[in-house]
Amino acid sequence: MKVAAIGLGSMGMGAALNLLKAGHEVTGVDPRAEAREAFAAAGGRAVARAGEIPEGTEAALVLVVNAQQTEAALFGPDGAAPRLAPGAVVIGSATVAPEAARALAAEAEAAGLLWLDAPVSGGAKGAAEGTMVVMASGSEAAFARAEPVLAAIARKTWRLGDAPGIGSTMKMVNQLLAGVHIAAAAEAMALGIRAGADPRMLYEVITTAAGNSWMFGDRVPHILEGDDTPRSAIDIFVKDLGIVLDAARGMTFPLPLTAAAHQLFLGVSAAGYGGRDDAFVIRFWQMLAGIGLPPKRG
């Protein structure tokens, strides 16, 4: 297929490279020259603006930050929509509020396009390995058109119904858990460090015990290595937990744990670390209590 991969960030790049490996004709879209150069070096075509994708592109995988970027990339003054083939499928994989997914789907339908509400999970590692989990909802036609793309980027695609917004609702719940678990992992490590436990031994013990979580196992090594290079950034969870809290507020539904985690990410972002790896929400306790963190290895 002729596919546009819009957004060559930590997850978009991995997905785009796997589409190339699967034999698709892929155009990567990203305003950053270094991302375009990396994708072109791997054998893809790269452009700076979505309006520059090839005429007649059959599928667009959109892995940008939020709903506003998704709307601009598709339907803005230099958006991709006019370059897409009639009946092309748009796979909306940014984390957005369910109502935003529904609005984007309506805009796509008005433009003669199919829409799949298809947020993803798996992080940069899952994207690079082609093992992401897709939480998707949309019409049978949209699923059929998107299947070759999904087969190249995911190990599991959940079919959650035909209405846009269902996929984004599922991702919203996932992000609640992910954000709270990262914050809890950081709090636990901070307590252990203050109490005098060896951080690496603490990690080894907890990952064999009942207190372990997927996020503890995945994120704590970043702390141990002193590596705050963003795989997923602090500001992603400022945004995503904000989406969760806004949705809950609209339902008059209390989320005390999510609110506490959101404040931790927000505080670290306000201190100037919003672009750093999300495991470094532990800097909240470093700033508050002066704990020492392991130095960067090497």
Nearest in space to 224 (alpha carbons), one of 270, 290, 277, 287: 277
Q: Which two tokens stand for residue 94?
A: 């940014």
Strands 2-6 and 154-159: unpaired
**What 8-state DSSP symbol labels residue 219?**
H
Amino acid in position 207: T
Question: CB neighbours of 49 closer than 8 A, spacing ≥ 6?
Answer: 29, 31, 78
Catalytic residue among 2, 125, 156, 171: 171
CA distances in angstroms from 182 to 246, 259, 297, listed in the order given: 20, 14, 22
Strands 154-159 and 132-138: parallel
Could you confirm whether 171 is annotated as catalytic? yes
Instruction: For 117, list phi and psi in degrees, rounded to 5.
Output: -80, 100
Q: Which two tokens stand for residue 61?
A: 């995988």
* DSSP states along 184-210: HHHHHHHHHHHHT--HHHHHHHHTTST
How many H helices and E strands in the chain?
A: 12, 9
Residue recorded with tokens 């997905």: 15
Query: What residues form DSSP beta bridges with 6?
Result: 29, 62
Residue 41 burial (10 A CB sphere; 0-12, 13-18, 19+) = exposed
Distance CA 193, CA 188 (A): 9
Which residues are identified as catalytic? 171
